[in-house]
Amino acid sequence: MDKLHFDRTDYSVVVKKRAPPPSSWKWEILSCREVKPDKAIIVYFHTMVTANRAGKEALKQLLDKLPVSQADIRADHARLPRERFM
């Protein structure tokens, strides 16, 4: 398998409760190719929602740094609205 190929759908944000209150929540970015997190934050958040928002922002920044694959280009093209001809 080509190690330079990255599929954006391989990555996801997971929020976990890992500490006692009040700051119990942290996020991790996981890849279906890896058992351990690709990126994890050691900062804990007060709520699951704030941890999830921070994780999604970090995932967006990570994906922006990855090379764009042909599969990503085709997937983006498939999501474009189709023009209707009458």
* Res 79: pLDDT: 52
Surface-to-core class of residue 66, CB atoms within 10 Å of its CB (0-12 exposed, 13-18 middle, 19+ buried): middle
- Return d(Cα 81, Cα 48) in angstroms, integer: 34
Whole-number Cα distances in Å, 23 to 15, 39, 48: 13, 19, 10
- Return d(Cα 46, Cα 3) in angstroms, integer: 37
Digit-by-digit pLDDT tens for the chain (86 residues) are: 445 556 778 888 989 998 889 999 998 888 877 666 666 667 899 999 999 999 999 999 988 887 766 555 555 545 555 444 44
Closest CA to 70 of 13, 3, 25, 7: 7
